[in-house]
């Protein structure tokens, strides 16, 4: 199985249509937001102003540090979903968010689930500048 970093991919989509989503809401204020794949976080009580929702699919491993190079200190972890794999076939879906913390360049679950052989889908809010 071949993996590429986001930086190695040319011609990245910037709209929902670019991702093949053609039936999104197309009118009104929400439609205007839905037209872009890069959406700012909605402001309100308990929700961060500014920032962008981000995600990354990374390889699992022993409990501890897992590289998430785009994350910066000050970004906020939203969710970590674990896809255990048996012989390259996903065998389940597990929410491990409560086990993880996010810091500069990594997520960490020291003392928790060993995710070796599987994949982690990490969702976080980018609150810092590049």
pLDDT tens, position by position, 84-123: 987 778 888 999 999 999 998 999 999 999 999 999 999 9
pLDDT in tens, 1-17: 566 777 777 777 777 67
Instruction: Report the distance separating Cα 92 and Cα 86, nearest Å.
Output: 10
Give the position of tokens 């199985």.
Answer: 1
Whether residue 4 contacts residue 11, with contact meaning beta carbons closer than 8 Å, is answered with: no
Instruction: Report the distance separating Cα 62 and Cα 49, nearest Å.
Output: 34
pLDDT confidence band for 71 (50 / 70 / 90): confident
Give residue 68's Cα distance to chain centre: 10
Whether residue 41 contacts residue 94, with contact meaning beta carbons closer than 8 Å, is answered with: no
Candidates 65, 72, 61, 54; CA nearest to 122 is 54
DSSP helix/strand/coil, 95: strand
| Both structure tokens of 73 | 């200190």
Cut 0.85: pTM above it: no
Give the pairing of strands 101-103 and 106-108. Answer: antiparallel
């Amino acid at each position: 199985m071949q993996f590429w970093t986001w930086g190695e991919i040319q011609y990245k989509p910037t709209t929902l249509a670019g991702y093949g989503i053609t039936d999104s809401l197309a009118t009104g204020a929400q439609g205007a937001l839905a037209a872009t794949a890069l959406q700012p976080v909605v402001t309100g009580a308990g929700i961060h102003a500014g920032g962008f929702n981000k995600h990354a699919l990374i390889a699992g491993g022993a409990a501890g540090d897992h590289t998430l190079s785009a994350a910066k200190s000050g970004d906020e972890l939203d969710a970590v979903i674990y896809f255990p794999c048996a012989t390259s076939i996903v065998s389940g879906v597990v929410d491990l968010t409560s086990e993880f913390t996010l810091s500069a360049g990594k997520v960490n679950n020291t003392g928790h689930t060993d995710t070796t052989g599987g994949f982690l889908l990490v969702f976080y809010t980018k609150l810092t500048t590049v």
